[in-house]
Structure 1
Amino acid sequence: MTTRTRTRRQATRTKASAEVEIKWTTEELAELAELEAATALLPEDAPRGLLSVRLSVLTEETTSPVRQELDLRRYAVQKGIRAIGVARDLNVSATKKSPFERKELGDWLKNRIPEFDLILFWKLDRFIRRITDLHEAITWCQRYDKNLVSLNDTLDLDSPMAQAMVTFIAAVAEIEAANTKVRVTSLWEHTKGSDEWRVGKPPYGYYVDKVDGRNRLVQYPDEAKVLRYMYRAAVRGVPANRIALILNRAKVPTYSNRTWNNQQVLRNLRNPAVKGVRTEGGTKSAGYRSKPVLDKNGKEIMVTDEPILTAEEFDKVGEALDVRKKNKRRNEKNKRPTRFLGVMKHRDCGNNINETNNYSTLATGETKEYRYLRCPQCRKPGFVIPQPEQMYSWIASEVIKSIGEHDVIYREYSKGEENRKERKRIQDSISYYMTGLEPGGRYDREGFVKERAQETLDNLITELDKFDPESTKDRWIYVRSGQTFVEHWQSGGVEAMENDLLRAGITFDVWKEDGEVLTDMKIPEDLLNRLVRTTDTD
């Protein structure tokens, strides 16, 4: 007789870890308020620091983000650095995402460069772990005159020697990350041949539980029910995207609390883990295809006593999916991308409108292809728009009429250092001549010398009055390219227009009324700002 003792699940399925909130104690909040008050007392010309906080894994018990932020704020106040913002990137691996790819820090590095002078972080490996990323960050700092400051590492970018030291520290961090990967790989190789679950996240539908004192996979009832539904629907021939739509309408949570899509459905149904066997692979580099791990006798290793699908059921659903895949391939050679995908929206449901095709066999035996537009999500009866090219032409003409004559404007980063030097030169020159014209000064004499000195002083004062204070600041400036959007689209084609519309957020609501196709163009109020192109990415 089997006895079971339930233990706490390794993964909480009802809440994604990314949604775990950082918890601050009353004492920490009080200290935060004191540090913010001390920051407000710093002089206006104090260096402006961006605080960068990163953590690879965030759980409800995590205290590291709070500790990092408070430590950084204390250090900033001690060094007279004005903390102007915090970039918090939690559940983010520095070995997988560079600073420029992270959600919060990446936004500061791409769009908010004029707002800070240096980046302050707790430790170099909290900021970066790959040498290639470090070189990219150093090049970026040199380009925009920024600095990197670490609380627990002695580093500064003011000299080539300092940059070499930073590179060395990053190399150590990269080696440490590589060693961690080796240890994890070694542990996996050691345990993957066992029928006991010792390491790793359980597959969808299962959780880890004690069975006769050993860790085994046990069915998670709600998720097992979802997988059984997927199986029955797929065997009946229901498409994967239809299964995903039904699950989303029923508000069934996924493994990470995201919405279902056809790929998630297919991966779960094709994953051998659903029949309770040990698997490996399943990563992006492996095309998300898992394969069973075999024991010394060439048999699959069972890690559960209650598989959700039997081996026969797994093979049966695989055959059903293969049939649909084979039928789908018939039309792949005639597939073409939908134009203005993401721009055309079905007004009734708000989903994207796609181009699709169908075939009809004529009396002569020939096959005729029909292309049309439809909403693949709601499939509302009667909402079919034939001749997609006419719709594309209509959208292009409306866009050209609305914004085609606007100039293409690029955003460029302008450093204020040269203008600051020039303003200081003028101010020093004014002081010099004013001192010279005072009683007893070198220009305090009647005649030509005093007149010329006074004339020079007046000119300098006039020049200083004309000096724009904003030009002394690091800032974005906007430069006209001398080309209109029509000219830009003529050279870049439909793809260039599509990219501009998506970036600008321009959409077309499409619906049918009494058999007539109607459209409504939606233009954001900040259209011109959205259309500005950046020299870094465009």
Structure 2
Amino acid sequence: MPPATKPKIVRVVAAIRQSRTHDQTISPDLQRSIIENWISAKNQSSTDGTRWVIVGWAVDLDVSAGTTNPWERPELGPWLTDQGADQWDMLVSWKLDRLCRSALDFALLVKWLGERGKTLACTNDPIDLDTPIGRAVAAIMAILAELELETIRARSKENQRSLRANGRWGGGRIPFGRMLDTSDGTKKLVIDPEMYPVFLEIVAAVHEGRSITSIAIELNERNFPTAVDRQRQLKGLPTEGQLWSSANLWRMLKNRHLIGQKEYKGSVIRDDNGEPIIFFEPLLRMSEWTRLQTELDRRSINTTEESRRNTMLLRKVGSCGVCGGNVHQNFTVKNGKKYELRYRCASHTQQYNGTIARRCANGRIKAAELEGALIEAIMTRFGDKPWQEKVFVAGEDHTEELSQVEDAISSVRKEKDLGLYEGDEDAYMERLAALVARRKTLLAQPTRPSGYTYQPTGVTVAEHWAALDTEARNRLLIQWGVRISYDVTGGLPDIKIDLGDLERLEQLTQGLGDLTLASAL
């Protein structure tokens, strides 16, 4: 009896691709199930003992076959290397378009497979690379897949154009401060009432001079969600724990959605008259937007300078006691090594027409000595006082909406007077009555400017100070109007301190109870 023939094993790599993870019509689970059933059917129908065994899965999600060839895919790519090719014999996918949507990519893939003795199968497409006719049919299918992709792209562009023209939301990441409204059967972005006050607080902090980085840190400390996590909250989904950063906060503040506008390929979307289209209710008035962008543009120019300055506690606080100029920080250097940090009159680091004639006679002073003197003066008098948190409260102003309602009332009446209104009398009166009622409601609502209030924190000034970094401490000193100067020309340091608003506030509050330093801001 001849020896039994050893069954042939065909090692299979199964490729799954999905362009969008939220598209469930061709979900990865469905593709996996189809491939597994196909392998099972192959094994059951085998007449020569051949067995097909899946040795690996290449699951690429959020990957487009129109822009990414098979070798560039994160999961499939490693299998299409000489080292990876030693581990399998057949590449299997649900359909050809899960592998390629380009005829050129398909031709290159077929050539690559043939050179290495590999084969290809698609469970739902009749592909046979073992015959010339089969390869020709496969090439035609690849061309059809490419044409289908171009059709999809054209349809998508037209759909997006229609959505832009009608002010509807075409999908994508929803900006911070907004939420999706589908109450009228369409998708539109409206202001998120819970996050809008947070947004206004961010803008106010920028105008106070706070750095974008420090604002991002505070948002994280106060557990305010990013745009992505906020939308997950609104959908009832668990958040991903994304953090605010200076980068995503900067992008949010530069986005024209703040004034209700949108951009397409870097340009503002405009109507036929060349005017920007207002797609949704602005978060900022145009004057507020302009002011914010001016401040951000100023910062983008001075980013390097501000980054350097913000590490100095006495920036805009310390001065030279001899010439009155600002002070800079530097290190004493010996044998190329930095030693003690010191303050020095800025005249020593500035150029005056190439001469040193105008350099101040004042010398250096140890940073620890100068900063320590100021901190001791503040904490001795105010360290045990209660600290209150300064909280921004959004105002309420209906002036613009009231003006729009007044214009609408005038327009409706004018249409009627000119005989341009085509509806019946009841419809006209109903429309006018609704506008008048809205005007009455707006007139009855209070107008309150935005401002700040103060809330107890349960900590003292000293405890609050200890929790701050150098930048935050410097910002606080500037807000308090504190100044310190030094003069070492006489040998021993002559340090003078002006506690500014703190000193004046203490005089005003003598006998009026505990002083809260937050009220000095």
TM-score by length of 2: 0.49
Larger radius of gyration: 2
